[in-house]
Amino acid sequence: MKPVYELDVYRLAEELSDMIWYEFDEWSTKAKNTIGYQIIRSSDSIAANIAEGFGRYSTADRKNFYYYARGSFEETKAWLRKAVRRGLVTDLKLEKYKLIIDELGPKLNAFIAKTKTYTSKPQK
C-alpha cells in the first residue's frame, strides 16, 4: 500500500491548502482576521483528516475521518465563495482553485466510497 502522501486525493488537498496559505499573505488585516484564519484551518484540515484516517486501524474510524475531510472540503469551498464575493480572490486565481476543487471533490468521494465497510457476520 502507498504511503498517504503519495495518494492523489491527499496531494490535491495539500495543493489546495498551500494555495490558500500563500493567497492569505495578500489580504488585508481585516480579511485575514475574519475569513483568512478560518479558510486556512479548514483547508489544512482536509489533508490532515485524510492522513489521520489513513493511520486508523478500523474501517469505521478511517471512514469517519474521511467524512471529516469532506466536511472540511465543503467548509473551505464556502469560505472561498465568501472571499470571491468580497473581492479577495481574483478571477484568475479562482480558475486555479476551481481546477483543484473540481478534481479533489470527486476523488475524495471515490476515496470514501472505496473504503470498505464491514458488517458482522450473521450468527448461526
Residue 120: CB atoms within 10 A of its CB come to 5
Alpha-carbon gap, residue 54 to 25, rounded angstroms? 31
C-alpha span between 38 and 107 (Å, rounded): 24
Sign of CA dihedral 45, 46, 51, 52: positive
pTM: 0.90
CB 107 within 8 A of CB 9: yes
pLDDT at 117: 57
Q: Quick one: pLDDT at residue 120? A: 40
* DSSP H/E element including 40: helix 37-54
> Average pLDDT of 74-82?
97
Domains of the chain from N-terminus onward? 4-113 (1.20.1440.60)
What is the reported pLDDT for 118? 46
**Could you tell me the three cell numbers for 89?**
480572490
Q: Between residues 77 and 91, which one has the greater pLDDT?
A: 77
Chain segment 17-75, per-residue pLDDT in tens = 999 999 999 999 999 999 999 999 999 999 999 999 999 989 999 999 999 999 999 99
